[in-house]
Amino acid sequence: MIEELKSLVKEYSPDADFALLEKAYNFASSAHYCQVRASGEPYITHCYNTAKILTELKLDVPTLCGALLHDVLEDTLVVSEELREEFGPEITALVEGVTKINSYRFRDHITAQAENWRKMLLAVVKDTRVIIIKLADRLHNMRTIKFLPPDKQKEISMETLTLYTPFAHRLGIYKWKSELEDLIFEVLQPAKYYEIKSKWEARTENNLKNLEAVKKQIEEKLAPLNIAFRVSSRPKNLYGIYKKMQRQEKPFSAIQDLFGMRIITDTEEHCYAILSIIQSEFKMLENSFTDYIVVPKANMYQSLHTTLVSDKGVIVEIQIRTEDMHRRAEYGIAAHWRYKESFEKNCQKNTKQTNMENHLEFIKHILESQKDVNDSDEFLTAIKTECNFDQIYISTPKGDAIKLPEGATALDFAYAVHSDIGDRCMGVKVNGKMVQLDYKLKSGQICEVLVRNNIRPTEHWLSIVITAQARSRIRKYLREHTKK
């Protein structure tokens, strides 16, 4: 295993410290000696596979060492001091960041879960690689979950669905998110999973023929541009198809875009040149164009989206992006960490780019808003809400833009303007008209908060707001002003 791991690393980093990598492997192998997984395999195979997943991102040797050693503090007799002496503070901090607190210290599973996430997020703020290792660890555990008892499979899958998958989504690691969703789908809804999988496979051959025909047409139309590009197709993940069926209230037979097509080129200018040809040479589905290059998603995703209808009536979703955008679309912030140095240089030159650390602000926001909250459910809900990267942009009367999660209410907006404004909110005007405090906002609206000094938060307000900031502020007020 260690030779294979070294071989994978050599492909992208021939001058890496292979002695350190081998030392970490041997240390982990010795620490986990005689331990076996539910599958009957030696425990070290899990550590190896976690590290192997990270080589897809071309991550450095210290990160891979952290992956190889990620369970030694939690599951063996090794202590932090020993690890620090052998591997130094950087690798030790990564391992400590992913190590769970002993569950015997907590009164119930929810409290333990909340405190472990709080501990991990504090570590993530210091080093992004902690969450990348943790997600790789969970991905391999989900790949091998079939060896666990059914009840345990469901428990782990639910936790993955509600916490790990949204986190992968929020960080833009779509490749892992999609695989996790399908693995979860198979565990939690096996009948529906296999039904959709069977129908998907029955249509695959015909879909691939149609896609190949569309691909050839696109390549022929783009050839005169004399620019670098490549065209590839990908199947939509089964869970994504299932959610689309639910969202649109359609049967599987009515879902036409089971595959997406990507056109990947070298520059942003060429993305728009390709888009122009596609829109002029093909019939386009009405209202299908979205520009995520000019306005990237909150998780750094950039691409041009449109949907064409071929001459045979085949509907194909097209994504046009650069190689750099494609790397970010697959691995999100994990790709940014790998290319952190060059990325930060670009940040200084390009005002559209934001420093990578800014994309972790939502984690700092969770920790700050929840620092005085002892309710475990409240903390976990805050994580799930903040991981909802589908965001809306609301303007103040002065033209300032305020970013909120989708589903946010007028009262959430008031607290986003300022906590004191939220506490004294008597009403909100949306586009000049008064609305209820529980009114769900839509992107592009202009909101004005009306305040009155004798207005104060009530318990009912907690059922109106969804943002961690608003809930935390309301709870703080109620706690400080409740008569004893």
**Distance from C-alpha of 84 to C-alpha of 100, rounded to nearest angstrom:** 18
Angstrom distance (rounded) from CA 377 to CA 100: 18
How many of the other CB atoms lie within 10 Å of CB of 350? 9
Rounded alpha-carbon distances, angstroms, from residue 346 to 37, 270, 271, 278: 44, 19, 19, 30
Reading the block at residue 59, the tokens are 């991550």
Contact 424, 410 (CB under 8 A): no
| Dihedral sign computed on CA atoms, order 47, 362, 345, 352 | positive
Burial of 59 (0-12, 13-18, 19+ CB in 10 A): buried
Concatenated DSSP letters of 86-108: HHHHHHHHHHHHHPPPPGGGSSS
Query: 3-class DSSP state for residue 125?
Result: helix
Q: Which residues of 107-135 are buried (b: 16+ CB within 10 A; e: fewer)?
A: eeeebbbbbbbbbbbebbbebbbbbbbbb
306 vs 405: CA distance, rounded Å: 24
| Rounded Cα–Cα distance for residues 114 and 132 (Å) | 19
Annotated catalytic sites, by residue?
Answer: 74-75
**What is the Cα–Cα distance from 200 to 202, expressed in whole angstroms?**
5
269 contact partners, CB below 8 Å, separation of at least 6: none
